[in-house]
Structure 1
Amino acid sequence: MDIKEIQSLIKFVAKSGASEVKLETDDIKITIRTGSLSANSEPTYVHTMPMAQPAVAAPAAAAVEAPAAAAAAPAAEAEDDKYITIKSPIIGTFYRKPSPDKPVFVEVGQTIGTGDVLCVIEAMKLFNDIESEVSGKIVKILVDDSSPVEFDQPLFLVDPS
């Protein structure tokens, strides 16, 4: 169980109205208590027990490819630096289309201008048009349709040239 799953579980328990939830598996024990702490109550503790990782011998070919992959990552980051990243201004659900029966707002390779609608983000049953603040060409769409997005999460890469 990773930290995002734990955070989601905490939010779910808080919304459910339950006062206490305990979860125990082979590798983790979690107790979540909601409500304010009084003088008689005790704080919530999260205790994670380390999992034993099986030792796997990596083939020699994989060991040779690892440095090449490590070198490729900075090259990709350097390539992305020349692009402008359009980020989410709000938390919500990302949609590429105005409605299910309509075409998507933008595609990779499409030229956009300032003020063009790139997507819609639904937050609390309100659909917010996300407009471009730059002109250029869409290089990459970083979020899948109907996916949840966080504030300041990258959505699009735009080549301004």
Structure 2
Amino acid sequence: MDFKQVQELIKIINKSNIGELTIEEKDFKITIKQKEDQVQTVYAAPSAPVYTAALQAPQAVALPAAGAAAPAGDAPAAKADNLITIKSPMIGTFYRRASPDKPLFVEVGSEIAPGKTVCIIEAMKLFNEIESEVSGKIVKVLVEDASPVEFDQPLFLVEPA
């Protein structure tokens, strides 16, 4: 199968209501999947410069809805299509407070505004305060305190104000 044939298959799948197509030939296998419903996603920006090679510039990206992937909740969920996801802008360790004896930055039900620190991510011995870029109310915390996080991993669900 050549590149032109793959492009044609993608066009056909995009125009149809087929969710997924897999083709196998001898030593070749291709799977084409349709995009699912989308929710708005916002990356939180670190408040200090981060010197990590893997870091990419924060940007808003639409992703497939991940309602089933989220752990059981701390609060009743609002409409999933209305929620904004705050994602990790880097790889590191997620902390919900500045130190063990300090209060949490945010909890379920906390009101946030742009510039408010929502967590800290430690990367290579640098503690980066992650600030919100949206206004709203924290509906769900998706990561356990002191857990490792990946770039682009959802951290919080926010009901926009």
TM-score, normalised to structure 2, is: 0.51
Which structure 2 residues correspond to residues 3-82 of structure 1 after superposition, within 5 A?
79-82=79-82
User: For 1:59-81, what per-residue CA distance to the aligned partner results, in whole angstroms no more than 9, with x for missing partners?
Assistant: xxxxxxxxxxxxx96xxx99322
Does the 8 Å contact 2:137/2:160 carry over to 1? yes
Does the 8 Å contact 2:78/2:159 carry over to 1? no
Measure, in 2, the Cα distance between the counterparts of 1:96 and 1:141: 10
Matched, 1:142 2:136: no
Give the number of the structure whose alpha-carbon radius of gyration is greater: 1
Matched, 1:100 2:106: no
Which structure 2 residues correspond to residues 147-158 of structure 1 after superposition, within 5 A?
147-158=147-158
- What percentage of residue pairs aligned between the two structures are identical? 72
Matched, 1:109 2:112: no
User: Secondary structure at 1:97's aligned position in 2?
Assistant: coil
User: Secondary structure at 2:129's aligned position in 1?
Assistant: strand
- Structure 1's consecutive aligned runs of 4 or more residues displaced over 4 angstroms after TM superposition are none
User: For 1:8-60, what per-residue CA distance to the aligned partner results, in whole angstroms no more than 9, with x for missing partners?
Assistant: xxxxxxxxxxxxxxxxxxxxxxxxxxxxxxxxxxxxxxxxxxxxxxxxxxxxx
Matched, 1:90 2:118: no
Measure, in 2, the Cα distance between the counterparts of 1:100 and 1:150: 23
User: For 1:72-101, what per-residue CA distance to the aligned partner results, in whole angstroms no more than 9, with x for missing partners?
Assistant: 96xxx9932210000000000000000111
Does the 8 Å contact 2:93/2:123 carry over to 1? yes
Measure, in 2, the Cα distance between the counterparts of 1:119 and 1:147: 12
Measure, in 2, the Cα distance between the counterparts of 1:127 and 1:158: 23
Unpaired segments ≥5 residues, structure 1: 1-71
Shift in alpha-carbon separation, 1:102–1:147, aligned structure 2, 3 A: same
Q: Greater RCO between the two (CA within 8 Å, min separation 6)?
A: 2
More strand by share: 2
Measure, in 1, the Cα distance between the counterparts of 2:156 and 2:80: 11
In structure 1, the residue matched to 2:27 is: none
Report the AA paired with residue 133 of structure 2: E
Shift in alpha-carbon separation, 1:78–1:112, aligned structure 2, 3 A: closer
User: Secondary structure at 1:145's aligned position in 2?
Assistant: coil
More helix by share: 1
- Aligned residues, how many? 88
